[in-house]
Amino acid sequence: MPVINLTDLRAALPKGARLLGIDPGRRNIGVALSDVELRLAGPYATLRRGRLAANAAEIAAIARREGAGGLVIGLPLDMDGTAGRAAQAARDWAHALSTATGLPAALWDERLSTATVTRTLIEAADLSRHRRAEVVDRAAAAHILQSALDASR
């Protein structure tokens, strides 16, 4: 499956299909899920990063179970908006994940998503360091997906 722009991804979704937000980290993959109206995103799961085939199978199973028809994958651009090595690695991984899951994907700028979520978890939720570590990846995925949904309305 191709990696396409977000507008085309939304247009290609069947009515009532959800989107999965994916925050691919070095150790964990945060997963978020939209509602069927594509208005709200919520944290869903944290997966242990491993072999692509295993992670793709987990993500495809979530997509089937939850009725998701596409992926929004975080793209770690540099602070000046340019694409460095991390962004190219994320693009390559997104193409491979899209192909392995059979789901179309769009990339979305994830600059500062984890930092923003961590700050919110400290200030608003007053979570301990251990509890933050458990939820930050899926919360960052929700942040990425929500910003993509908001921008594409």
Q: What is the pLDDT of residues 64-84, one digit of tens each?
A: 999 999 999 999 877 777 778
- The answer to whether residue 56 sits within a structural domain is yes
Say which CATH number the domain at 85 has.
Answer: 3.30.420.140
Q: Are 42 and 32 in contact (CB under 8 A)?
A: yes
Tell me: pLDDT of 12 over 70.
yes
Number of H helices, E strands in the chain: 5, 5
- The total domain count for the chain is 1
Residue 144 Cα to chain centre, angstroms: 6
- Residue 141 is predicted with a pLDDT of 93
- The answer to whether residue 1 sits within a structural domain is no
Q: Compute the average pLDDT of residues 96-113.
A: 89
| Stated pTM of the model | 0.88
Report d(CA 141, CA 62) in Å as an integer. 14
Locate 118 and state its tokens.
């961590």
Of residues 90, 98, 73, 93, the one with CA closest to residue 22: 73
Q: Compute the average pLDDT of residues 10-23.
A: 96
> What average pLDDT does the structure give for the chain?
88
Cα Rg of the chain (Å, integer) = 14
Question: What letter represents residue 22's amino acid?
Answer: I
* 86 or 104, higher pLDDT: 104
Q: What's 124's DSSP letter?
A: T
Full residue range of the structural domain in which residue 110 is found: 6-151
- The answer to whether residue 86 sits within a structural domain is yes
- The answer to whether residue 47 sits within a structural domain is yes
Band of pLDDT at residue 148, cut at 50, 70 and 90:
very high
Percent of the chain at pLDDT exceeding 70 = 84
Q: Are 111 and 79 in contact (CB under 8 A)?
A: yes
- Residue 2 is predicted with a pLDDT of 74
